[in-house]
Amino acid sequence: MCEKEFRNEKLYQTTMHIARKMLSDGLMSLEEYQRVDRIFLDKYKPVLGTLFSDVALTSSSV
């Protein structure tokens, strides 16, 4: 993984961590969360993030 890919991965993961927190706190609907996920997957094109993009939606932590 090159430096740019690593930076994009960190930005995507950090952004989605915040989005998951907003979802769990009721500040964002599931539809909004899914839209945010698609936007940031497209923006950052994370190498590993695509493997985990929907995992949090199926776990009990959300």
Between CA 57 and CA 51 the distance in angstroms is 13
- Considering only CA atoms, which of 16, 1, 3, 2 is closest in space to residue 49? 16
pLDDT of 2-50, one tens digit each? 999 999 999 999 999 999 999 999 999 999 999 999 999 999 999 876 6
* pLDDT score recorded for residue 36: 95
Q: How far apart are the first and last CA of the chain?
A: 29
Residue for token digits 């927190």?
Answer: 21
pLDDT, greater one: 1 or 15:
15
Please give the Cα distance from 32 to 34 (Å, whole number). Answer: 5
Could you tell me how far CA 33 lies from the centroid of its own chain?
8
What are the residue boundaries of the structural domains of the chain, listed by start? 3-53
The pLDDT of residue 49: 65
